[in-house]
Amino acid sequence: MSMHRKGFDALMEIIARPELIFVRGQGSWLEDHAGKRYLDFVQGWAVNSLGHQAPEIVAALERQARLLINPSAAFYNQPAIDLALRLVQASCFDRIFFANSGAEANEGAIKLARKWGQKHRDGAYRIITFEHAFHGRTLATMSASGKEGWDRKFPPQVEGFPKARLNDLASVRALIDEQTVAVMLEPVQGEGGVIPATPAFMQALRSLTREHGLLLIVDEVQTGMGRTGRLFAYQHADVEPDIMTLGKGIGGGVPLAALCAREAVSCFDPGDQGGTYNGNPLMTAVGVAVFDALTAPGFLDDVNARAQLLSTGLLSLCEKWGLPGERGLGLLRVLELDGDHGPALVEAARERSPEGLLLNSPRNNLLRFMPALNVTADEIETLLKWLDGLIGQVCTA
């Protein structure tokens, strides 16, 4: 391998990365510096909703780059308005603030809830979040997250995020006090291991929050924009939250995120929220292209058909190899392994030849699948065939 460790060392080591450099992408496939191809079931962590180099996205970037890249967040621009209108029409929300990452959108949600607490709830500010939740990597969103050990990483934490247990209403009720302003959750805990909140729990949370005058905030950074087979995951439970955040798939690979709020909750005063790049037309033009692709007739039906194919295929692997099971919603799924084989499987899959396979293991006993939403049936069949071989090679060794 003609690679220079020195080049890698110019980057901060934030995670153990394999010594490859990806140079090109196309749909569900990536190619590295040596010309080896990889079937990609990670897709930038559920980010490339239309796959690599989707023609709609490339065209939107080219068109918008020639017109206008960034007039400043202090002026209106047409793509931001167009995308906001689409989101408002497709959801129960009335106002949109665009951000550049999921964590930033969640910071905005936390600020908005605290502002609403100042205005309407006598300064209440605490936001009940959940064990194993993941909301991002800024100080406040790390504090809101329920990842093991994160409470001790960068002390002191941002205060005001007591943790309840998912699908356990009593654990939420027990944390409500005078200072509570909101409950915030992922409709499916993604990084936590693809654990869905049940529709019954979502509905009970909505009633409980109404009863106590609290806001319900859904973090749909991973579950939003068609990932679960509906445009937004909250729609599976037939509840209407007060605030929603979007990220990942909304930009189809470019940095774009959104904070969505109902009119009554949209209470920022001028100067409370903003940012140099927020809502810039280059990224929001891509957002419009992605939105239009995801909402084209039949697109979400296809997502659900592919999800069914993937789920059925994973279940037959469970039967064949005696694995505990699979779960998920739409094209956000995990396969449960009969031991901590996840990291070894991820590595063997990547090193597979002549073609590799990119997978993710959010916990050591889980493999997660988050392909492009337009993944083909053939690509799913290929994944299942290769996975069969890999399980035989790694898990029975």
Q: How far is the CB of 186 from ligand PLP (least distance, A)?
A: 5
The number of helix segments (H) and strand segments (E) in the chain equals 12, 16
Which residue ranges make up the site for ligand PLP (CB under 6 A)? 101-103, 106, 134-136, 186, 190-191, 219, 221-222, 247-248
Q: How far is the CB of 134 from ligand PLP (least distance, A)?
A: 5
Taking the C-alpha atoms of residue 216 and residue 225, their distance in angstroms, rounded to an integer, is: 19
Taking the C-alpha atoms of residue 176 and residue 114, their distance in angstroms, rounded to an integer, is: 15
CB 38 within 8 A of CB 239: no
Among 190, 270, 274, CA closest to 233: 190
Residue with CB nearest ligand PLP? 102
| Structural Rg of the chain based on CA atoms | 21
Element (H, E) at 22: strand 22-26
Taking the C-alpha atoms of residue 57 and residue 63, their distance in angstroms, rounded to an integer, is: 10
Which is nearer to ligand PLP, 91 or 222 (by Cβ)? 222
Which is nearer to ligand PLP, 102 or 356 (by Cβ)? 102
Q: How far is the CB of 363 from ligand PLP (least distance, A)?
A: 15
Q: How many CB atoms lie within 10 A of CB 170?
A: 8
Which is nearer to ligand PLP, 57 or 323 (by Cβ)? 57
| Strands 356-358 and 37-40, sheet pairing | parallel
Q: Structure tokens of 214?
A: 């609290």
Which is nearer to ligand PLP, 185 or 323 (by Cβ)? 185
CB 280 within 8 A of CB 100: no
Sheet of 37-40, strand order: 22-26, 29-32, 37-40, 356-358
Which is nearer to ligand PLP, 38 or 130 (by Cβ)? 130
| DSSP state string for 197-234 | PPHHHHHHHHHHHHHTT-EEEEEETTTTTTTTSSSSGG
Q: How far is the CB of 221 from ligand PLP (least distance, A)?
A: 4
Which is nearer to ligand PLP, 186 or 379 (by Cβ)? 186
Q: How far is the CB of 35 from ligand PLP (least distance, A)?
A: 30
Q: How far is the CB of 217 from ligand PLP (least distance, A)?
A: 11
Q: How far is the CB of 227 from ligand PLP (least distance, A)?
A: 10
Q: How far is the CB of 193 from ligand PLP (least distance, A)?
A: 12
Which is nearer to ligand PLP, 115 or 248 (by Cβ)? 248
φ, ψ for residue 30 (rounded to 5)? -120, 155
Which is nearer to ligand PLP, 140 or 176 (by Cβ)? 140
Among 364, 397, 368, 363, CA closest to 383: 368
